[in-house]
Amino acid sequence: MSDKLSFLVFGAGSVGSVFGWRIQVGGGNVSVVCRSNYEAVKKSGLNINSDQHGKHIFTPNNVYSSAKEAVANGEEYDYVLVCTKVLPSYGDPAVALKPIIKSNKTSIILIQNGIGIEEPYAREFPGNPVIPAAAFLDSKQLKDGTIEHGNHARLTFGLYTDGVLERDEEYKKCGESALKAFDKILISGSVGSTIEEHLQRSRWFKLIFNASLNPISVLSGQYSANELVKNPGTRELVKKAMIEIIKAGEAVTGGPLDDKVPGSDLPDQFVKYTETRTTTIIPSMLQDYMNKKPMEHEVILKIPIEKAKAAGVEVPILETLYELLVMNEKKNLQ
Amino acid sequence: MSDKLSFLVFGAGSVGSVFGWRIQVGGGNVSVVCRSNYEAVKKSGLNINSDQHGKHIFTPNNVYSSAKEAVANGEEYDYVLVCTKVLPSYGDPAVALKPIIKSNKTSIILIQNGIGIEEPYAREFPGNPVIPAAAFLDSKQLKDGTIEHGNHARLTFGLYTDGVLERDEEYKKCGESALKAFDKILISGSVGSTIEEHLQRSRWFKLIFNASLNPISVLSGQYSANELVKNPGTRELVKKAMIEIIKAGEAVTGGPLDDKVPGSDLPDQFVKYTETRTTTIIPSMLQDYMNKKPMEHEVILKIPIEKAKAAGVEVPILETLYELLVMNEKKNLQ
């Protein structure tokens, strides 16, 4: 038996593939569960063209087509990296992991967008460390099994301790050591790694972009993020939506969303960053909309709206975007 | 020379045709300026199928294809009824009337949606009574020259006295007598007629529907008003948008928008009225959008938003709808 740590990447799309690859490079035993790209990955692995690391083929230790298959030979993983889209309206997301999680040994790392994503896992697997992460990288699956990656990859993560259940000392102890081992292997694989106590702040920080430019790119009639921040009217709208998210995030998490930049300066920073980008940024919701796929509006808008209101923050722009988005999706998926 | 009052309906679409017809029945001499439906109306008049009055052919005294043609024989009208769409982004709307207005004799009646529509006319024709009106009727042009009309037609109107210029006694005196003569002929033509001192309140009242259901019907992905109020999420959004309009209208006009129903009850009343309608209501903006025509977002959203903010009322939902609508139109008209 190998003394390597074992990882299962659940959802080997553009994000899961890059992190899985770097973890393998860093010394992990990395298997993947694929859905739409299974045939391609099984046959030829993942072809990754990375600005940061050059052209490589990432050959996972095993390629599976389902959770069940991934444990058919009695495997038990140290870490499951959940990299799928979060669509709670289609059912409890944690159910998909049920075949995989056999004991408290396995840590569940959620590399996903949105807010409130941990609760279903904490409910379903109360003894397993749940580790939400905020990923910062540019990556794109050009076609099944072919990934383009930009010049950086960073992961900020922390142990989920709040939520529906009381977390005991044992949970925290296991969790802390899982964080450390994960941090170590990421660093070995040249991924920027940060263990963050206030992880929810990082998640709300990511939401500043995701809950504003994502829905507006769809609802404005399909414009790129670059176009939206160039046009004065939508630039202001984007900034106003960002202010709602920042105020909500600060109230919900009880602190600033960024250590260095004050909340009031963040919208300008995000908008200017987007403006100076030379590549066209098609937000993920617009990609999904154009591909007639469900969008992640529940964890990116609905749950944040609920949490904002519970914390006493009004978010009328986000509410408007959410309701319009749901109706558009209904027609789009017909 | 006839001693009948003379009317020129500028824009004989579904609204202008019904009022022009009833004014002729009421004893007026009614000519029309047509655009897209000129050939049909010139040849066969306007075929109106009215639930209220039965089937009739309205044959205008004269049918013209332009403002210039309408005054080619030296005509001077007592009233010009402006029934065109209001699209200030395409240029000053008052300019179109320049050939028609020769002296202060002519009153300008604006049967149009939105807020702030009087200002261009008051600026261009400072001596002519400007009479904004709020029309309440169901009517639709099925094809060029063929109009369907429901079971009622009501016009609320008043003299425009605020705005960019000081209004002197002479203006008010002329205006008052123009209002009275207009009221009389409407009543003779079986149109519900109300001279309203606080006319701006009636205009904001109409806006409760127009600035909420109109843009939301486009931005939600093309749903009828009936569908929007049936779906719980958009029903709430529509009501929240209505609350913004009501608060803004009350602040701008300095009084309640309805004499009987308090502002806080109006959203429910509008929504319930829409819900119980058995016919499908396609708001005018959605009709325009589907026909790839410009929408009246300036007078229905932009100017009301500016006036709301000047009166200290925040309208984040309306601002969101406006910016999204402008971007959608840009793409739609490409």
The full DSSP string for B88-144 is GGGS-GGGGGTTT--STT-EEEEE--SSS-SHHHHHH-TTS-EEEEEEEEEEEEEET
- Nearest Cα residue in chain A from B217: A324
> Across the interface, which of B221, B233, B327 has its CB nearest the CB of A331?
B221
Residues B231, B96 share a domain: no
Q: Can you tell me the distance from the alpha carbon of A275 to that of B25, in angstroms, rounded to the nearest whole number?
A: 61
Same domain assignment for residues A153 and A232: no
Cβ-based neighbour number of residue A253 at 10 Å? 20
A172 and A234 together in one domain: no
- pLDDT (tens digit per residue) in A82-117: 999 999 888 898 999 999 999 999 999 999 999 999
Residue B63 resides in a domain: yes
The model's confidence at residue B166, banded by pLDDT at 50, 70 and 90, is low
A-B CB pairs within 8 A amount to: 74
Least confident of A129-143, B157-171, B208-222: B157-171
Distance from CA of B327 to the nearest CA of A (A): 5
The answer to whether B327 contacts A240, with C-beta atoms less than 8 Å apart, is no
CATH number at residue A285: 1.10.1040.10
The arithmetic mean of pLDDT across residues B316-328, rounded, is: 98
The string of pLDDT tens digits covering residues A28-53 is 999 999 999 999 999 999 999 999 99
Helix (H) or strand (E) holding B32: strand B29-33
Closest-approach residue (CA) in chain A for B234: A323
Across A1-16, average pLDDT: 90
Would you call A320 and B323 a contact, using CB atoms and an 8 Å cutoff? no
Residues of B in contact with A231 (CB under 8 A): 327
Are residues A84 and A14 located together in one domain of the fold? Answer: yes
Instruction: Write down the pLDDT at residue B148.
Output: 95
Q: What pLDDT, in 10s, does the model give residues B9-27?
A: 999 999 999 999 999 999 9
Distance from CA of A244 to the nearest CA of B (A): 11
Nearest to A316 among B221, B317, B331 (CB): B317
Going by the DSSP 8-state scheme, the letter that residue A325 receives in this structure is H
Are A217 and A225 spatial neighbours (Cβ–Cβ below 8 Å)?
A: yes
**Is residue B132 domain-resident?**
yes
Do B53 and B174 lie in one domain? The reply is: yes
* Shortest CA gap B323–chain A (Å): 6
Could you tell me if B332 lies within 8 Å of chain A, comparing CB atoms?
yes
Q: Does B316 touch chain A (CB under 8 A)?
A: yes
> Of A215-224, B103-112, B163-172, B213-222, which range is least confident?
B163-172
Q: Say how many Å lie between the first and final Cα of chain B, rounded.
A: 50
DSSP code, position B193: E
Q: Does B234 touch chain A (CB under 8 A)?
A: yes
Task: Tell me whether residues B317 and A317 touch, CB distance under 8 A.
Answer: yes
Look at residue B2 and tell me whether its pLDDT is greater than 70: no
Q: How many residues are given for chain A?
A: 334
Give the C-alpha separation, A104 to B156, whole Å. Answer: 73
Boundary-marking domain end, from B129, B162, B197:
B197
The residue of chain A with its CA nearest to that of B237 is: A320
List the single residue in A234, A316, A328 with the smallest CB-CB distance to B220.
A328
The domain containing residue B159 runs over which residues? Answer: 6-197
Instruction: Give the residue among B287, B17, B284, B41 at the shortest CA–CA distance from B144.
Output: B41
In a domain, A189, yes or no: yes
pLDDT above 80 for A278: yes
For residue A312, give the H/E element and its range.
none
B23 and B64, same domain (yes or no): yes
A3-17, B130-144, B152-166: least confidently modelled range: B152-166
Q: Give the residue, B278 or A223, on which the prediction is more confident.
A: A223
CATH number for the domain including A76? 3.40.50.720
Indicate whether B215 and B92 sit together in one domain: no
Q: Token pair of B255, please?
A: 């009084």
Give per-residue burial for A58-87: e unless 16+ CB within 10 Å, then b: bebbbbbeebeebbeeeeebbbbbbbbbbe
Is B169 a domain residue?
yes
Residues A214 and A176 both lie in one domain: no
SS3 state at B162 = coil
Closest CA to A115 of A129, A134, A128: A134
Check residue A162 and give its pLDDT: 75
The answer as to whether B1 is a domain residue is: no
Identify the band that residue B292 occupies on the pLDDT scale cut at 50, 70 and 90. very high
Strands (E), chain A: 6-10, 29-33, 46-50, 54-58, 62-64, 79-82, 107-111, 130-143, 146-157, 192-195
Residue from the list B221, B316, B321 with its beta carbon closest to the beta carbon of A327: B221
* Closest CA–CA distance from residue B221 to any residue of chain A (Å): 5
Search chain A and give the residue with CA nearest B314. Answer: A316
Establish if A205 belongs to a structural domain.
yes
Residue B75 lies in a domain: yes
Contact B237/A331, CB-based, under 8 Å? no
**Residues A191 and A206 both lie in one domain:** no
Q: What angle do CA B287, B291, B295 make, to 5 degrees?
A: 60
Please judge whether A324 and B231 are an interchain contact, meaning their C-beta atoms are less than 8 angstroms apart. no
Q: Looking at residues B302-330, what average pLDDT do you find?
A: 98
Q: Are residues A168 and A315 in the same domain?
A: no
| Facing A323 at nearest CB: one of B233, B326, B330 | B233
pLDDT at B254: 94
pLDDT, tens only, B226-278: 999 999 999 999 999 999 999 999 999 999 999 999 999 999 999 999 999 88
Same domain, residue pair A274 and A158: no
Confidence of residue A279 (pLDDT cuts 50, 70, 90): confident
Secondary element (H or E) of residue B48 = strand B46-50
Whole-number pLDDT of residue A163: 55
What is the distance between the terminal CA atoms of chain A, rounded to a whole angstrom?
A: 50
Last residue of a domain, one of A166, A197, A228: A197
Secondary structure class of A142 (helix, strand, coil): strand
Same domain, A252 and A125: no
State which of A182, A197, A212 marks the end of a domain: A197
**What tokens does A90 get?**
């289609």
Give the model's confidence band at A165: pLDDT under 50 very low, under 70 low, under 90 confident, else very high.
low
pLDDT, tens only, A113-146: 999 999 999 999 989 999 999 999 989 899 999 9
Where is average pLDDT lowest: A69-73, A88-92, A187-191, B329-333?
A88-92
Identify the residue whose tokens are 């200002």.
B119
Give me the pLDDT at residue B225, please. 97
The verdict on A218 touching B (C-beta cutoff 8 Å) is: no
> Residue B295: is its pLDDT beyond 60?
yes
Inside any domain, residue A1:
no
| pLDDT exceeds 80 at position B165 | no
- The mean of the pLDDT values for chain B is 94
Touching check for B305 and chain A: CB below 8 Å? Answer: no
**Count of domains for chain B:** 2
